[in-house]
Structure 1
Amino acid sequence: MAEIPPQGAPAPAFTLPRDGGGTVSLSDFSGRKLVLYFYPKADTPGCTKEAIAFNGLRAEFEKADTAILGVSADPVAKQDKFKTKYDLDIPLGSDESTAMLEAYGVWGEKSMYGRKYMGIERVTLLIGRDGTIARVWPKVKVTGHAEEVLEAARALA
C-alpha cells in the first residue's frame, strides 16, 4: 500500500467519474481549499453518518472558502442512490479502478472477523489553495470529525 501523502506534499492530481454524470478533478478546486474525504462504502452506517455530517456543515465550509469531495470505490449509480436517499449536496467521486485511492495511500488490505480483503481506509485530507496537503486525518473516527475538519479549514489561510 502506498503511503498517504504527508503534510506539505503536493496533492496527487486526479479525474474521477462523479455522481450525476461527468467528472470531478483536483484542478476543479484550484485556488480553493478542499476537504477530500475517503469513505469505505456508500450507505453503510459510518459512511452515512460522515456524509450527513459534512453535508450539514456545507454552508459553514463554503464560508471558509472550502469545497468538500467524498470519494469511494462505489460505482456512480450507487453514489447517485446514496446522494438521493440522504439528500446530500456534496459531490461524490467514484474510483472503481482504485488508481486515485492508491495514489492517496488509502487503498489496502483490511481485516474483519479474521477475513482479509482490499478496501478503503477512512482518511480525510485538507488540501490548501496551493494544491498541497495542509492536514491529514488518518483512521478517522466519525463522531465530531466534520466539525474538527471545519475548524482546521477556518484556520487555514
Structure 2
Amino acid sequence: MERTKYTQRKSERKKEKWKEEERKKEKWKEEERKKEKWKEEERKKEKWKEEERKKEKWKEEERKKEKWKEEERKKEKWKEEERKKEKWKEEERKKEKWKEEERKKEKWKEEERKKEKWKEEERKKEKWKEEERKKEKWKEEERKTKIRETGFKEYF
C-alpha cells in the first residue's frame, strides 16, 4: 500500500508538474501573443506614420505646384502688362507721328497761303506796273496830242 501511495503521489506530482508546465506554456504563449500583438501595433503605427509622411510630402508637392502656378500667373500678368505698355507706347508713337504729320500739313498749307499771297502781290505789282505803263503811254499820247495841237515849239 505504501507503494501505491508513493506511486500515487509521484503520479500527482507529475500531474502537478505537467500542469505547471502547461500553465508556463500557456503563459509563454500568452506572452508571445502579446508580443505579436504589440509588434502588429508597432507595424500599424509605423505604417500610419509612413502614410502621414506620404500625405505631408504630397501636400508639400501640392503647395509647390500651387506656388509654381501662382508664379506662372504672375509672369503671365506681368507679360500682359508689358504688352499693354508696349501697345500704349505704340499708340503714343502713332499719335505723335499723326501730330507731326498734321503740323507738316499745316506748315505746308501756311506755305501755300504765303505763296498764294506772294503771287497775289506779284499780280498786283504787275497790274500796277501795267497801269503805270498805261499812264505813261497815256501821258505820252497826251504830250503828242498837245504837240500836234499846239505845235512843237510851244510845248517846250
Task: Report the TM range for the smaller structure's normalisation.
Answer: under 0.3
Greater fraction strand:
1
Larger Rg: 2
